[in-house]
Amino acid sequence: MQKIRNPFLFALILVWIVACQPNEKKSDEAGLIINTQAKARLDSTLKSLIDSGRVAGISALIFEKNKEVYYNAFGYADSEAGKVMDRTTRVRIYSMTKPVTGVALMSLFEKGAFQLDDPIAKYAPEFANMKVFAGVDAKGKQLLVPANRPITIRDLTRHTAGFARGEHEQLGVLVNEADVMNPKNTLAQMASKLAALPLAFHPGEEWSYGICVDMQAYLVERISGKPFDQYVKETILDPLKMQSTKYVPEDMSLLAAMYMRKEDGTLDRVADSLANSFNGKEWPLKPGGYGLTSNIDDYMRFARMLVNNGTLDSTTILKPETIKLMATNHLADSVTERMWLPSKGKVGFGIDFAVRLQLPVDEKENAGVVGEFFWDGAASTLFWVDPTNELTAVLFVQIFPFDGTVHKKFRDAVYGPFVKVP
């Protein structure tokens, strides 16, 4: 074989030989959101949240194109006991219970049991002839007017029913005295107390987050003829093999500790007696808006069912057209009062999910894609479904107050640096 005397030519040949070698990793990652760089960003981001003391423990699980592409956990589920955060850790998912309730309700919709624009009074007569608070007269007496229209099931699914909150300036005292969500109430007792209160606004006029999903649970009970928790177990949890998702864990030691961030940034453990006050025993109330505990693999099965258009492992929970309906914005532009929903980005609201309508306009907004639907929980848990990239993500922490910064950092780690779309 003749020697190559030209060093430059020799270098070019070497470059050509290397370039022609198969690069399996590059090929495997082509077009994926969670590539090698994303995994490194995720590890670095989650670890930094622990190292900075922002959270005690954190775990994240991501599937893309029906494959697990990322899992890691950092820190402690229980710092004081030295128990690490891992895949067996159960957390209180709070409002991430709501999408589960929505799926339960929509399974009845598929059976033709109701229409979204049916008045809820058709199934719960106590909500007929609702009155709306219209201020007070000169003597301080409440002025009530008939609601412009009945509350519909669609109002419940998009939080536009008009129910007053405890923080309402004039109605708050009444709401708090009614103690509607006392865990000693059954769902029927909850509904009876709620129906006796004036509405804070006319149905359909505002987005006001809260008890609407607990009312969905009541409707599931009324329409199905089964206790709400039993219906959810039989219709969703058992078919999806979500055995770790329960109101009351079979072993309370599986639950992560709860932490509260103080003003100086340090973390205080919430007393177990307080953190577990609801989940530590079976209460008459089985809320639809909060209350479930789960582990990260269980909730990911729920998310994967959604991204797969209602089916997982040959088990169908909902039809594709029902998932599409749930993941479509149902809030008209005329609904301008939206509490803190705009803080989630350029989003609308479907059936128990926020729905992203526009790409982030700058690096301050949460990363994501148009068509994504998602929700989170009071203790800063988060999940989303990205149909465009066939991606589902679940983030588990147990920290109060709700920490949107943790979500922002996690989303940035998943999707990478902000790039403005022309």
Give 18-30 pLDDT, tens digit per residue. Answer: 445 544 444 567 7
Task: Name the residue among 162, 160, 129 with its Cα closest to residue 145.
Answer: 129
pLDDT at 11 (0 to 100): 46
* Residue in 169, 159, 195 with CA at minimum distance from that of residue 180: 195
Do residues 136 and 236 both lie within one domain? no
Final residue of a domain: which of 167, 190, 224? 224
User: Is the pLDDT confidence value at 332 over 70?
Assistant: yes
Q: Please give the single-letter amino acid code of residue 358.
A: Q
What is the mean pLDDT of the segment spanning 390-395? 98
Mean pLDDT of 216-236: 98
Q: Is 239 exposed, middle or buried (0-12, 13-18, 19+ CB in 10 A)?
A: middle
Last residue of a domain, one of 199, 224, 249: 224
Q: Which domain holds residue 171?
A: 115-224
Task: Please give the helix or strand (H or E) that residue 384 lies within, else none.
Answer: strand 382-386
First to last CA, the chain: 55
For residue range 283-323, list pLDDT tens digits in order.
Answer: 999 999 999 999 999 999 999 999 999 999 999 999 999 99
Identify whether residues 327 and 402 lie together within a single domain: yes
- 157 shares a domain with 62: no
Quote the pLDDT of residue 419.
Answer: 85
Domain identity same for 249 and 387: yes
Choose one of 168, 195, 224: the last residue of a domain: 224
Indicate if 198 and 233 belong to the same structural domain.
Answer: no
What's the number of CA atoms in the CB half-sphere (13 Å) around residue 154?
16
Phi, psi of 314 (to 5 degrees): 70, 10
Whose tokens are 């003749």? That residue is 2
Q: Is residue 67 part of a domain?
A: yes
Strands 311-312 and 315-316: antiparallel
Within-domain flag for 7: no
Query: Looking at residue 420, what is its pLDDT?
Result: 79
- Number of domains into which the chain is organized: 2
pLDDT score of 30: 77
pLDDT on residue 6? 60
CA 86 to CA 73: how far, in whole Å? 6
Residue at 125 is within a domain: yes
Tell me which residue of 28, 48, 199 sits closest to 128, measured CA to CA: 199
Residue 310, token pair as written in the block: 């209602």
Q: Is 7's pLDDT higher than 70?
A: no
81 and 141 in a common domain: no
What is the rounded distance in angstroms from the CA atom of residue 263 to the CA atom of residue 289?
Answer: 28
Assess whether 277 and 184 both reside in one domain: no
What pLDDT was estimated at residue 1?
46
What CATH number does residue 209 fall under?
1.20.58
Spatial contact of 223 and 114, defined as CB atoms under 8 Å apart: yes
Tens-place pLDDT, residues 114-154: 999 999 999 999 999 999 999 888 888 889 999 999 999 99
Please choose, from the candidates 205, 218, 119, the residue with its C-alpha nearest in 3D space to the C-alpha of residue 162: 205
Mean pLDDT of the chain: 93
Residues 351, 387 within the same domain: yes
Going by the DSSP 8-state scheme, the letter that residue 304 receives in this structure is H
Q: Which of 151, 150, 120, 95 is nearest to 354 (CA)?
A: 95
Angle between helices 296-307 and 98-110 (to 10 degrees): 40
Q: Determine the pLDDT at residue 15.
A: 42
> What DSSP character marks residue 315?
E
3-state SS class at 313: coil
Q: Do 145 and 230 share a domain, yes or no?
A: no
pLDDT band at 87 (very low <50, low <70, confident <90, very high): very high
User: Would you call 84 helix, strand, or coil by DSSP?
Assistant: strand
- DSSP-derived secondary structure for 148-195: SS--BHHHHHHT-S----TT-TTTHHHHHHHTTT-TTS-HHHHHHHHH
pLDDT of res. 5: 57
Phi, psi (5° rounding) for residue 159? 65, 45
Q: Under a CB-based contact definition with an 8 Å cutoff, are residues 374 and 291 in contact?
A: no
> Is residue 331 predicted with pLDDT exceeding 70?
yes
Higher pLDDT, residue 16 or 53: 53
The verdict on 239 and 91 lying in the same domain is yes
What the block records as the tokens of 55 is 């959270």
Residue 170 lies in a domain: yes
Interval 223-248 mean pLDDT: 98
The enclosing domain of 68 has a CATH number of 3.40.710.10
Q: What is the pLDDT of residue 138?
A: 82
Considering the domain architecture, whether residues 280 and 396 belong to the same structural domain is answered as yes
How distant, in Å, are the alpha carbons of 204, 225, 289 from that of 337? 11, 36, 21
Phi and psi at 69, nearest 5°, equal: -115, -15
**Averaged over 370-376, what is the pLDDT?**
98
For residue 49, the model assigns a pLDDT of 98
**Backbone φ, ψ for residue 325 (5° rounding):** -65, -40
Helices (H) and strands (E) in the chain, counts: 13, 17
Please indicate, yes or no, if residue 5 is contained in any of the structural domains. no
The yes-or-no verdict on residue 10 having pLDDT over 70 is: no
pLDDT-based confidence at residue 166 (cuts at 50, 70, 90): confident
Mean pLDDT score, 196-208:
97
